């Protein structure tokens, strides 16, 4: 999530939209908030929306909802390609969308005028670099990051996956060895 935040080119005191709000997103949101950003979270999970508000998000809504103001930057954490045009439309001029998922369903056809015109940017994100990891850990320590976890015994990994798919996990699902 940290690299995705950096790839989103969020300007100082900018307006950030976060689509999907799981393990990486709830950490990236805290970094953005600590840096002065206004954060709007758009996700299908009611539990995730509650967590986002608890962490300081300015607004929350459904994944396909429009944020209350144009965004300077957005990060798509949800693996849902249908959200790419939604997030692009929510960007202000020269805004950047970083697509952070390891997996993403197909992206629908984009309409140049609605989704990309006025210098909107679309960026992919693969993974953190070592320097990103160092920077993230330094930042996490400095801001007093709050990590929200839902622990599962290793023997219940299948349940953890089902709960993730059904939005029954708040923050990160963590497998705990016996």
> Which segments of the chain are extended strands (E)?
15-19, 38-42, 59-61, 71-76, 91-99, 121-124, 149-153, 172-176
Question: What's the pLDDT score for residue 45?
Answer: 93
Are 91 and 114 contacting, i.e. CB atoms less than 8 angstroms apart?
no
Q: Smallest Cα–Cα separation from 47: which of 171, 172, 162?
A: 171
CATH number, span 2-132: 3.40.50.720
Task: Tell me how far the alpha carbon of residue 49 is from its chain's centroid.
Answer: 12
d(CA 123, CA 119): 13
pTM confidence score: 0.94
Domain segments of the chain as ranges:
2-132, 148-178
At 127 the pLDDT is 85
Q: Can you name the residues that pair with 149 across neighbouring β-strands? A: 172
Residues in the chain where the model's pLDDT stays below 70: none
Q: Could you identify the residue written with the tokens 């976060």?
A: 18
Look at residue 167 in the predicted model and tell me its pLDDT. Answer: 87
Cite the beta strand spans of 46-125 per DSSP E. Answer: 59-61, 71-76, 91-99, 121-124
pLDDT in tens, 15-24: 999 999 999 9
At residue 101, the pLDDT reads 81
CB 88 within 8 A of CB 116: yes
Predicted local confidence at residue 178, as pLDDT: 83
């Amino acid at each position: 999530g940290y690299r995705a935040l950096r790839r989103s080119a969020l300007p100082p005191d900018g307006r950030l939209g976060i689509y999907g709000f799981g393990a990486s997103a709830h950490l990236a949101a805290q970094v953005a908030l600590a840096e002065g950003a206004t954060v709007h979270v758009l996700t299908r999970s009611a539990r995730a929306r509650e967590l986002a508000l608890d962490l300081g998000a300015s607004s929350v809504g459904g994944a396909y909802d429009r944020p209350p103001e144009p965004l300077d930057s957005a990060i798509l954490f949800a693996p849902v390609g249908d959200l790419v045009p939604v997030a692009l439309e929510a960007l202000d001029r020269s805004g950047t969308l970083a697509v952070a998922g390891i997996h993403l369903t197909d992206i629908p056809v984009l309409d140049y005028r609605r989704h990309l015109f006025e210098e909107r940017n679309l960026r992919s994100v693969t993974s953190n670099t070592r320097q990103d990891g160092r920077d993230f850990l330094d930042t996490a320590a400095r801001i007093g990051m709050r990590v929200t976890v839902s622990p599962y015994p290793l023997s219940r990994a299948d349940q953890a996956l089902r709960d993730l798919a059904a939005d029954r996990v708040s923050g990160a699902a963590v497998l705990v060895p016996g």
